[in-house]
A = this chain, B = another copy of it.
């Protein structure tokens, strides 16, 4: 299930997709939960240990992410564990996570400061992600604008 039906509607800006996305995952923890899910975390305890988030807040965020259709919760074969997995919509956040990560790599670390990097199966660093126009050339913010729809 997609987000669509969730959250009756107290959107920051009802027609803007950026605002909606921020309303759903624009807090201190949600994106980091999603990041860790992409990196293999599946249980409450795993998320808790990796993030150092307060347990009640983690409970709340996991519940909301499930409600929004970003995570799926199921009982593990284990019996006492639960398993949280990214839905298709959750996996589709990969692009956004990569974009935020690459910006951080470029602008939020000192030149000599160590930081983790994202690599492919062959251990090669990912190419930089940039919006392209229809012609395939990089597109800047000035060369684009928001069009309101009816």
* Contacts from A to B (Cβ < 8 Å): 2-5, 12-13, 15-22, 24, 26-28, 31-32, 35, 38-39, 51-52, 69, 86, 89, 91-111, 113-124, 126-127, 129-134, 139-141, 143-150
Contact check, B17 vs A101: say whether CB atoms are below 8 A apart: yes
- The count of identical subunits is 2
Contact check, B119 vs A145: say whether CB atoms are below 8 A apart: yes
10 interchain residue pairs of minimum CB distance: A17-B104, A21-B104, A96-B99, A20-B108, A38-B141, A99-B99, A94-B141, A89-B107, A21-B100, A17-B105
Knowing A17-B105, A18-B100, A99-B99, say if A150 contacts B114 (CB, 8 Å). yes
